[in-house]
Amino acid sequence: MSLQERLGEVLDGVLPVTREDDGAVTVHHDETFASLRTVPVAEGLELVSLTQILAWDLPLDAKLRAAVAEHAHKTLLGTVSLTTKSAPAQIAAGAKRNSKKAADVLLRYNFPAAGLTDEALRTLILMVLATGAEVRRALIG
């Protein structure tokens, strides 16, 4: 069984799992969702790439930037980042100072999975997802 297939298998029954057409696995955890896929780096080295969407369409301001920067500094299991974009009309109209920008907050974590048992792989993924959920709660309550 490939590592990509194992990802779906070890999480099935623990989290809602969707197997995407491109082979990725999408899971939902505590008001967040994440995409997991495998990335071959070199012969014998395959990484699991986890990208968790923590929050989306947040009005972008200095307070949000500072909060995300603090989480990026403190978070050990993954990298917290902020992506900016044009604000959807409802965000721009309702935001303080009529913000024209919005932000999505992501957590990314890549790790080699060779040698991990199914239980260890599941536990590591759940720890990363729990970290992302904690960051989400801290950012949006």
Give the residue-averaged pLDDT of 73-85. Answer: 95
Determine phi and psi for 103, rounding to 5 degrees. Answer: -145, 150
Q: Residue 90: which pLDDT band, with cuts at 50, 70 and 90?
A: low
For residue 83, list its beta bridge partners: 104
Question: In which element (H, E) is residue 138 found?
Answer: helix 118-140
CATH top-level class of 3-140: alpha beta
Could you tell me the residue ranges of all domains in the chain?
3-140
pLDDT at 91 over 90: no
Question: In which element (H, E) is residue 33 found?
Answer: strand 32-42
Give the pLDDT confidence of 42-55 residue by residue, as tens digits.
Answer: 988 999 999 999 99
pTM: 0.88
